[in-house]
Chain A
């Protein structure tokens, strides 16, 4: 079909283009909120030794979804503004499609269960 030239995709602004492209996507806030739940957090705190990850996957900041090469760099990160800002953002809770719908007052009506089904 020939090369399709896309428009309005931050063309020429290298850092924005790279940051925003789907193949470089990092975790969203609602995914991280899911990770922080007590049932999931243990999996992230105790990760298996993986040679491909920085620091073999042993030093992972759950809130920022980042791996660190050793404990000192992770401790330095935990004191940083970026991390503290992220923790503050996460405290408000995730924004979901449901929030978007509630903002316009759209609720869900799933109907009433018929009595006959209950009897069966």
Chain B
């Protein structure tokens, strides 16, 4: 029994799921579900379809270079059964998947949440700049001195006076 990767979306195809299409040149294409199969029949390029792993990696939405990713390999050489090896492999697999999940969460945080924070901050500063009349004089002085909003604010003040 082997767990294959779907040709289109790169998700794991478990036994009893999906379809395998064999082309006239004997190439096999495995699909995890009919969604991927239908997209393939429509000749869509997986690199351009937003929800596939191929697109996400190419667009930098998911981490590409990582030690934890290197651990999963397809082994074409059969290994003689050894109970100790089995036990250590199972515990290692669990640990590695935990580490990988943690690292992916960190990557997501640095990509999405920090960007969101900076976007919010710039939006807020813009809002303050536009409505400078409403800002109390003490705070306005502080803002001008610290130059958070830039030189433009001071000029506007002079014109209005």
A residues near B, CB below 8 A? 8, 20, 22, 26, 28-29, 31, 89, 92, 95, 97, 99-111
Q: Does B76 contact A (CB under 8 A)?
A: yes
- List the 10 closest A-B pairs by CB distance, nearest first: A111-B77, A105-B69, A103-B53, A109-B73, A103-B54, A103-B10, A100-B10, A20-B41, A104-B10, A108-B74
- A110 and B10 form a contact (CB under 8 A): no
How many A-B contacts are there with CB distance less than 8 Å? 75
Q: Is the CB of A100 within 8 A of B74?
A: no
Further contacts, 5 of them, CB under 8 A, given A26-B43, A28-B23: A99-B47, A101-B5, A106-B5, A107-B70, A108-B74
- Given the complex, which residues of A lie within 8 Å of B69, measured CB to CB? 105
> Chain B interface (Cβ within 8 Å of chain A)?
5-11, 23, 25, 28-30, 34, 38, 41-43, 45-47, 52-54, 56-57, 64, 66, 69-70, 72-77
B5 x A97 contact (CB < 8 A): yes
Cα distance A22–B56 when bound, in Å? 29
Cα A28 to Cα B53 with chains together (Å): 20
Given the complex, which residues of B lie within 8 Å of A26, measured CB to CB?
A: 43
Cβ of B6 and Cβ of A100 under 8 Å apart? yes
| B60 CB to nearest A CB, Å | 13
Cross-chain contact B29 with A105 (CB below 8 angstroms):
no
Once bound together, how far apart are the Cα atoms of A100 and B46, in whole Å?
A: 9
When A97-B7, A103-B52, A109-B73 are in contact, do A28 and B34 touch as well, CB less than 8 Å? Answer: no
Residues of A within 8 A of B34 (CB): 8
Q: Is the interface of A mostly helix, strand, loop or mixed?
A: mixed
* Alpha-carbon distance between A111 and B5 when the two chains are bound, in angstroms: 21
Chain B contacts of A95 at CB under 8 A?
Answer: 45-47, 54
Q: Across the interface, do B73 and A108 meet the contact criterion of CB distance under 8 Å?
A: yes
In the assembly, what is the distance between CA of A108 and CA of B76, in Å?
8
Are B5 and A100 in contact, CB atoms less than 8 angstroms apart? yes
Q: Are A110 and B76 also in contact (CB < 8 A) when A95-B46, A103-B52 are?
A: yes
- Which residues from chain B contact A107 at a C-beta distance below 8 Å? 70, 72-74
Kindly list chain B residues whose C-beta atoms are within 8 Å of the C-beta of A31.
25
- On whether the beta carbons of B76 and A111 are closer than 8 Å, the reply is yes
CA distance A102 to B74 in the complex (A): 12
Min CB gap A84→B, angstroms: 16
A101: chain B residues at CB < 8 Å are: 5, 10, 74
